Amino acid sequence: MNKKYLPLFQPFTFKSGIETDNRIVMAPMTNFSSNEDGTVSDDEVAYYVRRSNGVGMVITACTYVTLNGKGFDGEFGGHSDEMIPSLRRLASAIKGEGAKVILQIFHGGRMAPPHLVDGDVVSASAVPAEAEGSPVPRELSAAEVDEIIKAFGETTRRAIEAGFDGVEIHGANGYLIQQFFSPHSNRRTDKWGERLAFPLAVVDEVKKTVAAYAKTPFAVGYRFSPEEPETPGITMADTLELINALKEKDLDYLHVSLFEFWSKPRRGVDDSRSRLEIIQERAGDKVPVIGVGSIYTADDALKALSTGVSLIAIARGLIIEPDWVQKVENGQEDQIVTKIDKNNQDKLVVPDPLWNAIINTPGWFPGV
Ligand SMILES: Cc1cc2nc3c(=O)[nH]c(=O)nc-3n(C[C@H](O)[C@H](O)[C@H](O)COP(=O)(O)O)c2cc1C
């Protein structure tokens, strides 16, 4: 290995005691490939196995905590105890390759496609997303909000029973937790209209569940998107408030969701640094940060790590190049593939639904 990449290969220990061998994380990626009944499919397991023996940690695709939170065709379920064997199969397969494994837990809220939720699309308030044709969601009752919070705890219990090393609370990308934090989608006048209330209640419920059930170290992370383009919408100032609150929750990590690691704030702060530098400063020593966004080469990862973030997550880059970590480790970093090879689906071990989504969405993956 070229010695300059050694910082990428330092082990990392989270507060909970979970330890990774290196600083590279597979970012959560939905693959649309689970079975109809919500169980994990053979193709999906093969896809994860292909990518789990170099990275320090794998964060799985999101899983729904209640049936009315299912956000994607071919998303696997974490909503009932019947799913525990399926979850266990996924966790064991990934751990068998040497990586730590984190289950991303989720509710789609107003982004759930109506056909997946019997047409009953729900959210904080009856405000549709801005994309044309978005359904008007039904505002959740206070009792339903309580049930969904409990469901995040229940899915965490299942993750513990299934052998995961932790859960990541999916508070990013416009889904239900973010919908409660956003002034665009949360116009409530009850206690849940306080925009931090729901995200923090979910964190508390998950932490309480871990304290009650985990007998060995179990990590809890939280993922968020720092800004929304809509007006009104989440600003960097809102996000700094969210971080202040999350810092007090004894979390293992914060994971920022971005497509570009070096992207700059749109509004809310008078600061010309990148969002991740600002977020890292605010998180300080209190909670480690995972950065992400268009990291394809070893030098990209090294430069990103120099901002002080603790770990680097890679999404598209690991679909394109499953041997990313091994190539850096073996001094072959110049052989890392950075554009998808459209003739190589079998070798890349990518299930058909994900592969079709990739090759039919121009501009999403480099090379398409
Ligand atoms: C195919 C695909 C599926 C994704 N699914 C999820 C998901 O389930 N949960 C999530 O938080 N982010 C999801 N993302 C976002 C990625 O985790 C990541 O933040 C984004 O792709 C930027 O990283 P990259 O530049 O390394 O691809 C997905 C991205 C891709 C490409």
By alpha-carbon position, which residue is closest to atom 31 of ligand 1? 316
Q: What's the confidence (pLDDT) of residue 227?
A: 98
**255 in ligand 1 pocket by Cβ < 6 Å?**
no
Task: Give dist(CA 75, CA 31) in Å, integer.
Answer: 7
Query: Which of 57, 316, 318, 368 gets mutated to test ligand 1 (max ligand atoms within 8 A of its CB)?
Result: 316
Catalytic residue among 47, 175, 222, 253: 175
Give the position, in ligand 1's atom list, of the atom nearest the Cα of 72.
8
**104 in ligand 1 pocket by Cβ < 6 Å?**
yes
Task: Give dist(CA 291, CA 293) in Å, integer.
Answer: 7
**225 in ligand 1 pocket by Cβ < 6 Å?**
no
CA of 193 to the centre of ligand 1 (A): 29
Give the position, in ligand 1's atom list, of the atom nearest the Cα of 27.
17
Q: What's the confidence (pLDDT) of residue 102?
A: 99
**317 in ligand 1 pocket by Cβ < 6 Å?**
yes
**27 in ligand 1 pocket by Cβ < 6 Å?**
yes
Q: What's the confidence (pLDDT) of residue 177?
A: 99
**295 in ligand 1 pocket by Cβ < 6 Å?**
yes
Domains of the chain: 3-360 (3.20.20.70)
CA of 27 to the centre of ligand 1 (A): 6
175 in catalytic set: yes
Q: What's the confidence (pLDDT) of residue 107?
A: 98
Q: What's the confidence (pLDDT) of residue 355?
A: 98
Query: Which of 29, 319, 352, 356 gets mutated to test ligand 1 (max ligand atoms within 8 A of its CB)?
Result: 29
Q: What's the confidence (pLDDT) of residue 255?
A: 98
CA of 139 to the centre of ligand 1 (A): 28
Q: What's the confidence (pLDDT) of residue 146?
A: 98
* Ordered mean pLDDT values, 10 residues apiece, the chain (368 residues): 98 98 98 98 98 98 98 98 98 98 98 98 98 97 98 99 99 98 98 98 99 98 98 98 98 98 97 98 98 98 98 98 98 98 97 98 97
CA distances from 190 to 107, 144, 197 (A): 21, 13, 11
**79 in ligand 1 pocket by Cβ < 6 Å?**
no
What pTM was estimated for this model as a whole?
A: 0.99
Residue 57 has phi, psi (to 5 degrees) of -155, 140
Q: What's the confidence (pLDDT) of residue 278?
A: 98
